[in-house]
Structure 1
Amino acid sequence: MPTVPRWASAAAVASSVAAALLVTCSTSAFAHDTCKAPGCAAGEGYHGMPEIATIGARTGKYMDIPEAAKGPAIDAAKGYRLQQLGRGLYMVTENVYQAMFLVHDRGVILADVPPPLAAFLPQAIREVTDKPVTHIVYSHAHIDHIGAAGDFVANLAKKPVIVAHEETKAILARAKDPKRPLPTLTFRDKHILEVGGQRLQLSYHGNGHEPGNIFIHAPEQRTLMVVDLIFPGWMPWRRLALAQDVPGYFAQVERIKSLDFDWLVSGHVARVGSKADVLAQHEFLLDLKAAAGKALQTTPLAEGMDPRDKSNPWAVFDHYIDRVAAQCVNTLTPKWAPRLAAFDVYIWDQCFTMEQSLRLD
């Protein structure tokens, strides 16, 4: 694992801090060029600074979305799109969020109830069947994927069975959120949900996003639903989709890569995914890890710093990490900027996250 260079000698932290520091920075577009007070932004970036705007800097025009990342258009009159993935299995999306439902002999199993889809899900299901929703499966506890479950269940004549991992139930019990009703059926490692001639295989593989995030596999339909891990055609959401365990995130992408399926419902973006999308994201992650690792090993500590700041270890390390991330961004941009939608939006996030994981995990 890459190691961080050590300071040549232990730096003493300043023994006192000024009781008050009046900083008069211009709020104009020229603030970076005119402000010389301590704490203000320098007038120039680091050597070899990427052209892609850093976190906190305003972007004038984001990169165009590659055609391969786009999905079929949404019917404006409906507001959503329904796609059949196999016998009785459908994905619903408004081209940002995705849910999935499986029709069985006696009703419907719904996987996730994202608030942006809440108004569309009843109509989408009625397009296919008038059978009742008998089960709801939670992919995980995050409100953006199940935060409409409370209202959805309240409008049903009969309460469905809500299935989730036991970690998800623990998180929701702590949250006490009526928008996310507690599961009524939980499992630890695996659960087979077999109802009315249809089958879903539910499994848990650890904390790759947050505790309780499960795999939902429809084997007959050759479809896998895993939310917030793979983003078909797109850069993952910031900080590797807010992964709580970065090595766990990498391990789960490896796990998905090894499975046999044709369709991937990822919970986000405008289209379903494929094995090719998983392979592409896996390749990007390996490149990200290699780029951050090399930058950690080859970036000199404190190079170019104001000598007066070298007694401030926080400042020395911030200066180092920023330059590591910049090198990582520069390394990845030529190959991946044309291939991944929103590369420029979150590449700085990914490089900062990766260098931190390599140093600390």
Structure 2
Amino acid sequence: MFLFRSNLLAAAAKVGSVAITIGLGSAPNQSARAETLPGQPGAPYQSMPSLAPIGTRVDHYLPIPKEDVTPAIDPKKGYRSQQLGRGLYMVTDNGYQSMFLVYETGVVVVDAPPGYSAHIRQAIAEVTDRPITHVVYSHAHVDHIGGVNDLGGHPIIIAQEETLRLLERAKDPRRPVPTVTFKDHYTLKVGSQVLDLSYPGSSPHEPGNIFIYAPEQKVLMVVDVIFPGWMPWRRFALAKDIPGYFDQVAYIDTLPFETLVGGHVNRVGTHSDVRTQLEFMNDLKTAAAAALKSTPPGEEMEAEDRPNLWAIYDNYIDRVVVKCVNAVTPKWQSRLAGYDVFIWDQCYAMEQSLRID
């Protein structure tokens, strides 16, 4: 069962097929307070959403929408491959995604997530016996490139110059520094195949996070920004710049791709997926803005806590987020896979950005 922040009476409720437990205070705050010690859970906020908040344990989550269910991974293989065009393939474990491009005398690999990197050569061998000659880093995060040593050989490694800077600082043997770097744009032409690598000047996710475009195949790979059919990873995929994240999602929709590889989740995407994510983000922004405007600081607090400035803002922010979650849930909980997992994170990040960005 979901465990909400309360040690008072519990009552069962339902959200679709998901059972939850909500603490119900039958007495005013003062009575509830008398039963708890400072810093301990008390009565829930007014209008507490039925979805488990951060820090609570869940017995099961909302089901994945049918349209986002994809073929299961064969546990004996640990991956599946999908052809995206002439010589271009995605490799995935239904959680992470990488690509490889076959040309006349070799293979280019884009990212090597460590969860299945030991199988990438096996996936390539199903298509060709040509060697891996180049590796492209989408960005520096270890969860996307930390398995590059499993590829073997001595490929040319290409990345944006900010990725070089971050990897030199990290000094991580799992992530060899790139041998070729660029600032704004780099065209990798190998045989009759082309990859256009570009850096839009900054990245809301991490410095150096690039766009990888296969023009013949009309495939765009942008990692940790678009999550086709799914709730984005928590707090807008840990975006350092949330207004910039909004701008980048809108910009991606203007590009001439037909297939999008986002680096995560269990399927590729389309322009429709980009627009759906942007629609959700804009609804979230509207809901958080309305909640900020309609929520006075200091309500639902005991008088003795009011001198505690941090407590006032903790209470205020929590109540803003409660309103935000309640506002967007009816429309979106059945449309985005994993909605209930990260909706609280997204509302917290959105209200914070609206207050200070």
Give how far 1:61 is off. 1.8
Match of 1:284 among 271, 280, 284: 280
Q: Within 5 Å, which residues of 2 pair with 1:318-337?
A: 318-337=314-333
Q: Who is 2:148 aligned against? A: 149
| Aligned match of 2:27 | none
Distance in 2, Cα, partners of 1:66 & 1:190: 38
Over 3 Å counting, the alpha-carbon distance change for 1:29 and 1:302 in structure 2 is closer
Q: CA deviation at 1:150?
A: 2.6
Would the alpha carbon gap of residues 262 and 76 (structure 1) be closer, same or farther in structure 2, given more than 3 Å must change? same
Match of residue 262 from structure 2: 266
User: Is contact 2:4-2:56 (8 Å) kept?
Assistant: no
Distance in 2 between the 1:31 and 1:332 partners? 24
2:5–2:44 contact (8 Å) kept in structure 1? no
Tell me if structure 2 keeps the 8 A contact 1:72–1:271.
Answer: no
After superposition, give the CA deviation of every residue in 1:269-313 in whole Å (9 maximum; x if it has no partner). 111111111110011111111111111111111112111111111
> How far apart in 2 are the matches of 1:105 and 1:290?
51
Q: 1:227 aligns with which of 214, 223, 229?
A: 223
The answer to whether the 8 A contact 1:168-1:211 is kept is yes
Q: Secondary structure at the match of 1:128?
A: coil
Q: TM-score, normalised by structure 1?
A: 0.89
RMSD: 1.5
Cα distance in 2 for residues equivalent to 1:165 and 1:59: 40
1:291, 1:139 → 2: CA distance? 33
Amino acid at match of 1:252: Q
1:66 aligns with 2:61: no
Higher relative contact order (CA 8 A, sep 6+): 1
Residue 31 (structure 1) shift: 6.6
Aligned counterparts of 2:92 and 2:52: Cα–Cα separation in 1: 31
Alpha-carbon distance in 1 for matches of 2:4, 2:133: 57
Alpha-carbon contact 1:230-1:281 (below 8 Å) kept: yes
Q: Give the corresponding residue for 2:139.
A: 140
Give structure 2 stretches of 5+ with no counterpart: 9-31
Deviation at 1:139, TM superposition (A): 0.4
Letter in 1 for 2:350: M
Counterpart residue number, 1:12: none
d(CA) in 1 for partners of 2:205 and 2:168?
19
- Pairing 1:112-261 to 2, within 5 Å after superposition: 112-152=111-151, 155-156=152-153, 159-205=154-200, 206-261=202-257
1:29 Cα deviation from its structure 2 partner: 9.9
SS of residue matched to 1:213: coil
Which residue of the partner structure matches residue 89 of structure 1?
A: 88
Normalising by structure 2, what TM-score? 0.90
Q: Distance in 2 between matches of 1:254 and 1:95?
A: 25
Query: Structure 1 vs Structure 2: percent identity of aligned residues?
Result: 58
Conservation of the 8 A alpha-carbon contact between 1:74 and 1:94: yes
Q: Do structure 1's residue 36 and structure 2's residue 31 form an aligned pair?
A: no
Unmatched segments (≥5 aa) in structure 1: 1-27
Asked if 2 retains the 8 angstrom alpha-carbon contact of 1:208 and 1:251, the reply is no
Structure 2: distance between partners of 1:357 and 1:304: 24
Which position in structure 1 is the counterpart of 2:99?
100
Contact 1:223 1:264 (8 Å CA) reproduced: yes
